[in-house]
Chain A
Amino acid sequence: MPTNHGNKTMKRVSIKEEACIGCGLCQVYCTVEHSKSKDPIKAYRREQPQPLSRVRVETNKPHSISIRCQQCKDTPCVNACLTGAMTLDKETGLVMHDAEKCIGCWTCIMVCPYGAIKPDTLSKIVVKCDLCPDREVPACVANCPNEALVCEEVNP
């Protein structure tokens, strides 16, 4: 059952490690979703700065796993942020990143236990999973061919 908390729902992506085949499509669709054009060819070949995937596929055969921000409840990145760019939305439990306030000091990267925050060295800010606010289901989940990624509604 979807959980409603105010008007917002508590979305999370969970990972089924045993189902991940390491194909990397989550990275591709994440990159495209976070591009200006939302077109794979343009996103990869023409857009400058090139959009970055907020997901990372790691492989250590026979295991592979798709890593993204886990929206930690103890929010180490929020606590460490020097500028107030990283905040916790108390209604949704999501860790929000304000690109305008970010100065690219990389302190959040230092404390993220998942290594899930990426430096965008051209824009001098960090990027991380935002659970695709414009979509019902995040792009990585919608396009995972083996259902290794599942979007769930969780309790606050």
Chain B
Amino acid sequence: MTKYVIIGGSAGGIGAVEAIREVDPVGTVTVISEEKVPQYSRPMISEYVSKEATLNSMKYRGDQFWKNNNVQALTGRAATKIDFTKKQVELDGGDKISYEKLLIATGGKPFVPRMEGGEKDGVFTFTELSSAEGIEAKLEHSKSAVVIGGGLIGVSASEALVKRGIKVTLVELKDNILNLILDKTASDMAEKVLTEAGVTVITGQTVQRILGKKDNDGSVGGVVMTDGKQIPCDLVVVAIGVIPRTELVKETPVKLNRGIVVDRFMRTNIPDVYACGDVAEAHDFLINGNRLLPLWPLAHMGGRVAGYNMAGKKAEYAGGTVMSSLKYFDLLTIAVGTVNPKELDDYEVLVELKPEKPVYKKILLKDNVIVGFIFLGEIEKAGILLRLLKNHVDVSTIKEELLSDDFGIVTLPEQLRQEMFVVN
């Protein structure tokens, strides 16, 4: 009986459990998670705070998941050390668990820069249920919030808080919100819906320090911006980014770049040790190399691939790339790959803009291959484009059709079309 140990019980760990159990119903599977209820959907924290979801409805898998998969779930426990020679994981209580196959799926943690006043009561991050619960406990007595960081998590936090009647100021250091995902046009459209919903967006600046309340009770009272202006608030959400949780493998033989480096089978450089999700640097099919891509779907897929390989069924990770689907204030947007290249001259750009709808579509091509696209407003056929991008398909014969309303499977070259319906 193979002994599997998985550190982390979120998207990646769950994917691995499901894959292992498809192949090996009898091996022992132990999952170590610092979370008491690991099986919730982290992307739904926003829905939880906005009260569009409850703790129960945000479960990614049911409460019986661990039991049904015959998993020993050590929840509320932390792995503190890995001995790769003895093949043992040490836990916070000092007890040790032996493994034959190990998956490191420790995820990411919010990056919180050192900042004056950062220790005050009312400063939160937005990636864990405990943060959401902390925010919830404060909301009743809060009127306003400052969200630091205009990326995916910062905008999610802003949306959730404004839906709860909080006056929100979103602060982004760069010139545009969502600048790692969208181009300027799409970012402006997203900013417009945020502003219309009542969020104040400040770009080109950040928060210098966090102030206390006048009565000096240790709680947040406001922030000072880089230009010296003060904004009063009761809550601060820090959403600058996430960094891989690599503590367990620092100063070990595990090959580490910014994240744990894994091959197409999610193997690290150490035999029988795998990694996936936000902690791993895995394959990106666009750059054809390894890259940190802290995205829920990719963590789950990486976990599945790791699980199959751990259980002895060869599986190759198809990879991912920068790919996001947004729904902020009902503005449907899908953005994939390179949308903001530095050297625009190297690319061919197809654009369609109907601001009144609003609809915005932009496709970037390099040597007749799609390398990135934004579909805003009309998103139904985005997946067809993703497939063309992923497979590096030469689209020179159908270029004119890509933005047309009639574009679809029927537009694809016959051979490609045939392949799609033979697969199944």
Contact = CB atoms under 8 A, between A and B. Distances in A.
Interface string A100-121: 1101111101111111011101
Contact of B297 (A17, A67, A82): A82
Given A58-B408, A60-B411, A121-B330, A113 B383 contact: yes
A59 B406 CA distance: 7
Contact of B332 (A112, A114, A121): A121
Nearest to B390: A113
Chain A: interface residue count, which band? 35 or more
A48 interface: no
A103 B297 contact: no
Interface stretch (B222-230, B242-250, B374-382): B374-382
B61 A84 contact: yes
A64 interface: yes
Chain B: interface residue count, which band? 35 or more
B349 interface: no
B424 A71 contact: yes
B235 to A, nearest CB: 24
Contacts of B326: 106
Contacts of A117: 380, 383
A50 interface: no
A107 B379 CA distance: 10
A115 B409 contact: yes
B382 A103 contact: no
B17 to A, nearest CB: 14
Nearest to B421: A15
Contacts of A105: 43, 325, 327
Contacts of B52: 103
A12 to B, nearest CB: 7
A73 interface: yes
Contact of B386 (A79, A81, A110): A110
A56 interface: yes
Interface of A: 12, 14-15, 17, 56, 58-60, 63-65, 67, 70-73, 76, 79-84, 100-101, 103-107, 109-115, 117-119, 121, 124
Given A70-B421, A82-B60, A100-B57, 10 more contacts: A14-B421, A17-B421, A60-B406, A70-B423, A70-B424, A73-B423, A84-B41, A103-B53, A113-B420, A117-B380
